[in-house]
Amino acid sequence: MIGLDLGGTSMMAIALSHQGRMIAARRRSTRPSLGPDGVTERVAKTIQRLLKDLGKTARFVLGIGIGAPGVVDHRKGIVTYAPNLGWRDYPLAKNLQSYLDLPVIIDNDVNGGAVGEYVLGAGRGSRNLVALFIGTGIGGGIILKKKLYHGSYGRAGELGHIKILPDGPICGCGQRGCAEGLASRTAMERDIRQAIASGRPSIIPSIMEQSGRDRMTSSVIQEALHKKDVLMQEIIQQAQKNLGLLVASIVNFIDPDCVVIGGGVTDRLGESFLQPIREIATQHFLRQSSLEQIAIVPAQLAGHAGGIGSAILAWQRLEKVQIGKPGRR
Query: Among candidates 75, 77, 73, 89, which has minimal Cα distance to 36?
Result: 89
Q: Sorting pLDDT into bands at 50, 70 and 90, what band is 290?
A: low
Asked whether residue 320 carries a pLDDT value surpassing 80, the answer given is no
Q: What pLDDT does residue 328 have?
A: 44
The CATH number corresponding to 122-300 among 2.40.10.340, 3.30.420.40, 3.10.300.10, 1.20.1560.10 equals 3.30.420.40
pLDDT, residue 130, reads 97
Residue 143 predicted with pLDDT over 80:
yes
Asked whether the predicted pLDDT for residue 249 surpasses 60, the reply is: yes
- Dump pLDDT digits (tens) for 205-246: 999 999 898 889 999 999 999 999 999 999 999 999 999 999
pLDDT at 38: 97
**CATH fold for domain 2-115+303-319:** Nucleotidyltransferase; domain 5 (3.30.420)
Average pLDDT over the chain reads 92
Q: Facing residues of 130 across strands?
A: 142, 259
Residue 72 confidence class, pLDDT cut points 50, 70, 90: very high
Q: Where in the chain is the domain with CATH 3.30.420.40?
A: 2-115+303-319, 122-300
* Residues 160, 137 contacting (CB under 8 angstroms): yes
Averaged pLDDT, 38-63: 95
C-alpha–C-alpha distance, residues 64 and 79, integer Å: 16
The reported pLDDT for the residue numbered 321 is: 58
d(CA 290, CA 299): 21
What DSSP element (H or E) covers 92? helix 92-97
Q: Among 75, 74, 17, which Cα is nearest to 3's?
A: 17
One-letter amino acid at 266 equals: T
The pLDDT value given to residue 324: 66
